[in-house]
Amino acid sequence: MFATAADGVKIWYDTAPGPRPVLLIHGFASDSQRTWEQTGWIRALAGHGHVTVDLRGHGRSDRPASGFSPRTLARDLLAVLDEAGLSTVDVVTYSMGGLAGWELARLAPGRVGRMVLGGIGGRAADRESMRRVAESLAAEGLDACIDGMAGHRLDGAPPVPVLFAAGEQDEIAADAPEFAASLGAPFVSLGGRTHVNAVSSRRFKDAAVEFLAPAG
């Protein structure tokens, strides 16, 4: 299925019904299938319901030549939630997806309940690091995304209750424990995982499911 963003870009998404759907937001140079389906997240969240999205420029979504920023990605996600008829979701993000999820919660108060942020700390997105990731994955056509996202970071107070998670060998999110502590937010270590393989961690999934469980 596709939602249409404000600038006409088509954003691919899929949904599975459940009592409290979880919006899953992948990172740079990836897509929903590689980040969430192939790593077992869909199975882990089977009792919740879910919404998977391919961010603009990635996967099955359109690849515009411009229009990349956390705010634009957040507006895309809001268009998906509106198209899917979902008033409130919890959110799980990875890496660059955290910038989009954070902005979504700020843009649309009340639409996001709780958020799990994997593979991200307080550092700004770095242009050269993003280029290296794209090259290592042989991902093409992402220059506009790099230019639009570089320099952005998680700023301000958490817009909703958040949980951070990162591997101890994740150089991109090396500051995640300290950053979470500075915000008064919980942090879960994923052991010796790196930025590449942390998303498949069973500890990550278990911590997210526990954090998103309804109170009481």
pTM above 0.85, yes or no: yes
pLDDT one-digit tens code per residue, 19-69: 999 999 999 999 999 999 999 999 999 999 999 999 999 999 999 998 899
Cα 148 from chain centre: 16
Q: Are 145 and 175 in contact (CB under 8 A)?
A: no
* 214 — pLDDT class (breaks 50, 70, 90): confident
Checking if the pLDDT of 85 tops 90, the result is: yes
* 216 — pLDDT class (breaks 50, 70, 90): low
| Cα three-residue angle 181-186-100, rounded to 5 degrees | 90
Predicted confidence at residue 56, as pLDDT, reads 98
More confident residue, 55 or 133: 55
Taking all residues of the chain, what is their mean pLDDT, rounded to a whole number?
96
% of the chain at pLDDT higher than 90: 94
Q: Are 61 and 54 in contact (CB under 8 A)?
A: yes
Considering the four listed CATH numbers 1.10.1040.10, 3.40.1350.10, 1.10.540.10, 3.40.50.1820, the one that applies to the domain covering 2-212 is 3.40.50.1820
The dihedral through the CA atoms of 160, 165, 171, 177 has a sign that is: positive
Q: Where are the domains of the chain?
A: 2-212
List CB contacts of 195: < 8 A, sequence separation 6 or more: 95, 119, 167, 170, 171, 172, 173
